[in-house]
Structure 1
């Protein structure tokens, strides 16, 4: 109503000044919000996750020179060429190993920061990831343009390749600090989008560091108002580039052009929290879904992977009040002391994975045997490449089934 009266000349001079001031303040706040607190914390989480899985053979792509065919640099950062357009890639990496009978793999990492009381990541975010994958994975160049006239009598069998004769398969990993809705889980499973749930207590310290550092950076950015127009896109992009470059250089130990030492003290607590985790292990279940493992003793896990024979495992879980299940894989071999790997699989995902649609202990046992009979874990460094299969201990599984049957026989009839 104030704006209507202002633009139609029905406000007094004092009201006009007050209304104009209010509108300008609203516009300024909206411009500032382009780098929102949640968005900034999501950027930090993306960088941290990328560095923690680097030893799974994940190499950052940051420059079009890494691949002039697919990559381009624009005002808002690195872009990947798709069939219908370019797509921003804040964190894009390439796996240093290629699967048999498939293309080399590149992985987008996107993180959604959700504070307490906020909604879980839903279908729209997963649908966005699927749309990008469908577009970038349709860019194929196998036959180049003809450079001259074909000889008389030649046909399509005589054409040789003049373009790029190979392509990459792009994948997407979506991280969340508050989990995913059941619809998002089902949609992601159907379209092979990896969901990395960082909501459980194993990541409390890391989330706390991101929360504090994000607030500190946000306060710094808002405080720059006195020095110039912070709300211009160029300035915002420059700030984000410098924050990312500073964090990347400290975590990856390689130089980045936009490194800015002024951000180092603010990023310090997050760098420390990331280094304390050391690394996260990336595994693939027997049925093909990606799992992010946090080890209680990473050094022991590495020694198990170096053993002459693949280590054996037992699988355990407990259900939380929010319906999520915190899983635990206990790893043992003759090479090192036992260690534990922790991860989360929400119930909706378990139901989608359970072909028999059973419930209760028997269903959990079947899930363990079907999906965790063999989990492949990758660790690729300059010194040594290791691909290890964590094999479910059959003696443990048989004993667990016997115990389950024994409990069922002792139960009184209902």
Structure 2
């Protein structure tokens, strides 16, 4: 039987896939690879989707493809792995992510053919890896990720707490229900994930096991997410070897503003907190207010701030070079919008002290100061 913390991580991955769908992240299935064997790179097996690398097939529970293809680049596919644990994510998890994407990106066969018949070009992809953690990351995990461009997204911010609570409650209810069932009647992890996935992402698939004690908590989780859809998680791309996971207390306000002003100037604030590492806030310089927040793993921020001497000048280096232009993609009715947030480091503000509570509930907008 699956462990509780593993189940929490699986459900969190499905929730993240749902939240990121509007950022251009489209969850893949084996149906997205119409090529026949032996040249297929996506297959469905007993435990779910697998993807073919140069040396092995790799489990791909949450593999998405961005609908926007950057100029002079390959289509981008992203592995999203979520860890819902009390302990910080360690080096082994990050090293495994690097091994997977390295093997996949080394699979460089460019033509399809059987040796005797005609050949045709084979579509290639660039694979990336992002790890989401509710408890942060160890120092060696952060250093390894930074060296190998594995993106780490910290979900330990208080702003993510309501989302994490929804997942925690659902996972505990499902786990308790499964414990009371005869082992032969317990649904598999694949069936549980697929049931929730169909509710959130409208994907077809095999029916889950007919067990209301298991499916009812999943229904509640899906309904809770739909009710609180004003909270958004957005992937953002600075000029750096990582992505940012931005959270908003009012996603609709940000989207409305960005659709009117796809490129606009923003202010950036860095807030020192009494508990946890600093919080970064992004707001528009003019016009209706929205707020986006993110937090960087400690070693990533230390690496960035080490580029110059002096704490304040290092922070200015980060905002001047890495945050000066942040690109974001938004998918609305199959149309991809590109937003760019432009920042002038002369407007940087660093705030000491503890800010008032923020993003206290999915359905409410509260001031961060």
In the alignment, which residue of structure 2 is the partner of 1:166?
123
**Paired residue for 1:45?**
12
How far off its partner does 1:358 sit? 3.4
CA deviation vs aligned residue, 1:11-62 (integer Å, no higher than 9, x gap)? xxxxxxxxxxxxxxxxxxxxx3xx0000000000000111101011111112
Contact 2:52 2:104 in 1 (8 A): yes
Among 131, 138, 147, which residue is 1:181 paired with?
A: 138
Does the residue aligned with 2:180 lie in a helix, a strand or coil?
A: helix
Task: State the secondary structure of the residue aligned to 2:54.
Answer: coil
Moved more, 346-355 or 383-392: 346-355
Q: 2:255 and 2:91 mapped to 1: Cα distance?
A: 36
2:197 to 248, 258, 277: 248
The aligned runs of 1:144-293 (5 Å cut-off) are 144-147=113-116, 162-225=119-182, 228-229=183-184, 238-259=187-208, 262=212, 263-275=214-226, 276-278=228-230, 279-293=232-246
Where 1:391 maps in the other structure, the secondary structure is strand
More helix by share: 1
Deviation at 1:113, TM superposition (A): 1.1
Question: What is the total number of aligned residue pairs between the two structures?
Answer: 343
1:85 Cα deviation (Å)? 1.1
Q: d(CA) in 2 for partners of 1:94 and 1:309?
A: 23
Instruction: Pick one of 336, 339, 346 that aligns with 2:297.
Output: 346
Query: Is the CA contact 2:65–2:78 (under 8 Å) kept in the aligned structure 1?
Result: yes
Matched, 1:296 2:252: no
Unaligned segments of structure 2, at least 5 residues: 352-369
Specify the SS of the correspondent of 2:296. Answer: strand
SS in 1 for 2:321: helix
Q: 1:94 aligns with which of 65, 71, 79?
A: 65
Q: Retained in 2: the 8 A contact 1:64–1:73?
A: no
Q: Which has the larger radius of gyration?
A: 1
2:79 corresponding residue in structure 1: 108
Quick one: distance in 2 between partners of 1:179 and 1:253?
A: 31
1:348 alignment partner, SS class: helix
**TM-score w.r.t. structure 1 length?**
0.77
* CA distance in structure 2 between the aligned counterparts of 1:384 and 1:104, rounded to whole angstroms: 17
The structure with higher relative contact order (CA 8 Å, sep 6+) is 2
Is the CA contact 1:305–1:386 (under 8 Å) kept in the aligned structure 2?
A: no
Q: 1:168 to 1:104 in 2, by over 3 A?
A: same
**Over the residues paired in the alignment, what is the CA RMSD in angstroms?**
2.5
Whole-Å Cα distance in 1 between the matches of residues 194 and 123 of structure 2? 31
TM-score, normalised relative to structure 2: 0.85
Q: Distance in 2 between matches of 1:354 and 1:98?
A: 31
**1:389 and 2:360 correspond:** no
